[in-house]
Amino acid sequence: MIKQTSVQEINGLINGSGACQVIDVREYSEFEAAKIQQAKLVPLSNFERQIEEIDRSQPVYLMCRSGNRAKQAAEKLIKRGFGDVHVIEGGMLAWESANLPTVKGASKVWSLERQVRFAAGSLVVLGVVLSLLLHQYFIALSAFVGAGLVFAAVTDTCGMAMMLAKMP
């Protein structure tokens, strides 16, 4: 069973004597932009290959931007036999909102979410422009991207984000 832990609880464990490991499943650029000092990066896009780096003898506290990717990682850990798995409620958004200690990096790389919005918006504009300049059927590109965005919202999975996460 996946347990929920508040940012205040995990901060107390980090500052106290509680044995725990914080695993951040965001992508490298997100992690470098802002992170918890004690967190270890194991990106969800590479999670299956790095799962053995996680200590099974300690409770695992999973962090992402808002909590969704952490839940996906938690399910993978439970399937692999990890017993004490927690998702940090609200992720880094909640951590930063609570004004808890954060290490800010100098990363100039856009977050994965921002990259997805840029790519989707660009494809929609491209489809409209091409349909006006070349052939009306290019509007299908815009429709396809729009349908993909609706699907991503309904299923809480994003194919474009998964593709972008695998790119250098």
Q: What is the 3-state secondary structure (H, E, C) of the chain?
A: CCEEECHHHHHHHHHCCCCCEEEECCCHHHHHHEECCCCEECCHHHHHHHHHHCCCCCCEEEECCCCHHHHHHHHHHHHCCCCCEEEECCHHHHHHHCCCCCEECCCCCCCHHHHHHHHHHHHHHHHHHHHHHCCHHHHHHHHHHHHHHHHHHHHCCCHHHHHHHHCC
pTM over 0.85: no
Please give the CATH architecture assigned to the domain spanning 3-104. Answer: 3-Layer(aba) Sandwich (3.40)
Kindly tell me if the per-residue pLDDT of 109 is higher than 70: no
pLDDT for the residue 108: 67
Q: Which of 13, 44, 62, 64 is catalytic?
A: 64
Give pLDDT tens digits for 21-54: 999 999 888 898 889 989 999 999 889 999 999 9
pLDDT tier for residue 107 given thresholds of 50, 70 and 90: low
Average pLDDT (109-126) is: 87
Average pLDDT (71-99) is: 94
Task: Give the start-to-end residue ranges of the domains of the chain.
Answer: 3-104, 112-166
- The answer to whether residue 64 is catalytic is yes
Mean residue pLDDT of the chain comes to 89
